Amino acid sequence: MEENKKLKNEVATLKNNIEYLDKDSRKRNVIFHGIDELEENPHKLLKLIVPDEIKTFKDFPLSQRTLKALKENNYITPTDIQRQAIGYALQGKDILGAAKTGSGKTLAFLIPILEILFCKKWTRLDGVGAVVISPTRELAYQIYETLRKVGYLHDFSAGLIIGGQNLKFERKRMDQMNILICTPGRLLQHMDENPLFDCSHLQILVLDEADRCLDMGFEATMNAIIENLPPKRQTLLFSATQTKSVKDLARLSLSFPTYVAPHEQATTATPEFLQQNYIVCKIDEKFSILWSFIKNHLKQKSLVFMATCKQVKYTYELFCKLRPGISLLALYGTLHQEKREKIYREFCRKSNVVLFATDLASRGLDFPKVNWVIQYDCPEDVDTYIHRAGRTARGVFGKGDGLLMLLPHEEKIVEDLRKNKIPINQIFVDASKVMIPLRKIESLLSDNGELKKTAQRAFMSYIKSIYLMKNKDIFNVQLLDTDAFSRSLGLIVPPAIKFMYKYNKSATENNVLGIQDTNDAIKKLKAKLSSDERSDGSESEADNEPVVVVAEETKTKKEIPLFDFHNVKVGSDEKHLFKVKEKNVSIDIAVLPNEDDVPTKKNAKPSTKTAVVKKILKSKVKVNTTVKFGEDGEVIGDEKKDVKSDLGKQFVNENAITVDIEKMSELLQEEDKFDKARFRERVKAKHKEQKRKLKNKKKEDEGEKDDFGSQSESDGPDLSWLPDPDKVYGTKDDYQNSETKSVSDYSENDYSNESVTSEKNEEFHRPPKRKIVESEDIPRESINPRKVKKIEDVSASLTVNEAEALAMQLLKSK
Ligand SMILES: Nc1ncnc2c1ncn2[C@@H]1O[C@H](COP(=O)(O)OP(=O)(O)OP(=O)(O)O)[C@@H](O)[C@H]1O
pLDDT at 557 exceeding the cut of 50: no
Split at pLDDT 50, 70, 90, the class of 4 is: low
Q: What ranges in 469-571 are assigned the alpha helix state H?
A: 482-488, 498-512, 519-534, 541-544
Give me ligand 1 centre to Cα 63, in Å: 21
pLDDT of 48 reads 64
Integer Cα distance of 314 and 316 in angstroms = 5
Please state the rounded mean pLDDT for residues 99-125. 95
pLDDT of 724 reads 63
Give the residue with greater pLDDT, 246 vs 5. 246
Is the entire prediction scored with pTM above 0.80? Answer: no
Q: From residue 542, how far is each of 228, 468, 566 by CA, in Å?
A: 43, 19, 43
Length of the chain equals 814
Among 55, 74, 103, 238, the mutation site with the greatest number of ligand 1 atoms within 8 A of its Cβ is 103
Give the residue with greater pLDDT, 177 vs 590. 177
Residues with CB under 6 A from ligand 1: 75, 77-79, 82, 99, 101-107, 240, 364, 366, 390, 394-396
Query: What is the residue-averaged pLDDT of the chain?
Result: 76
Is residue 557 within 8 A of residue 438, CB to CB? The reply is yes
Give the residue with greater pLDDT, 258 vs 646. 258
Domain boundaries, the chain: 26-260, 274-468, 518-576, 727-813
Integer Cα distance of 472 and 264 in angstroms = 29
Give me ligand 1 centre to Cα 269, in Å: 16
Give me ligand 1 centre to Cα 273, in Å: 15
| pLDDT tens readout for residues 481-535 | 999 999 999 999 989 887 776 666 666 665 554 444 445 555 555 555 544 443 3
Split at pLDDT 50, 70, 90, the class of 122 is: very high
Poorest-pLDDT segment among 374-388, 470-484, 596-610? 596-610
Poorest-pLDDT segment among 196-210, 460-474, 617-631? 617-631
Same fold, 26-260 and 274-468: yes
Please state the rounded mean pLDDT for residues 597-621. 60
Please state the rounded mean pLDDT for residues 27-48. 49
pLDDT of 753 reads 38
Q: What residue owns the CA closest to ligand 1's atom 15?
A: 104
Q: What percent of the chain has pLDDT over 90?
A: 46
Q: From residue 287, how far is each of 293, 294, 437, 455, 492 by CA, in Å?
A: 10, 11, 11, 12, 15
| pLDDT tens readout for residues 411-440 | 999 999 999 999 999 999 988 889 889 999
Give me ligand 1 centre to Cα 631, in Å: 85
Give me ligand 1 centre to Cα 73, in Å: 12
- Is 3.40.50.720 the CATH classification of the domain at 26-260? no
CATH architecture of 274-468: 3-Layer(aba) Sandwich (3.40)
Among 79, 260, 360, the mutation site with the greatest number of ligand 1 atoms within 8 A of its Cβ is 79
Split at pLDDT 50, 70, 90, the class of 770 is: very low
pLDDT of 250 reads 80
Give me ligand 1 centre to Cα 104, in Å: 3
Q: Residues with Cβ < 8 Å from 127, sequence gap 6 or more?
A: 175, 176, 177, 178, 198, 199, 200, 201
Among 67, 148, 396, 399, the mutation site with the greatest number of ligand 1 atoms within 8 A of its Cβ is 396
| Atom nearest to 79 CA in ligand 1 | 1
| pLDDT tens readout for residues 212-270 | 999 888 989 999 999 999 999 999 999 999 887 777 788 888 878 899 999 988 999 99
φ/ψ of residue 327, rounded to 5:
-75, 140
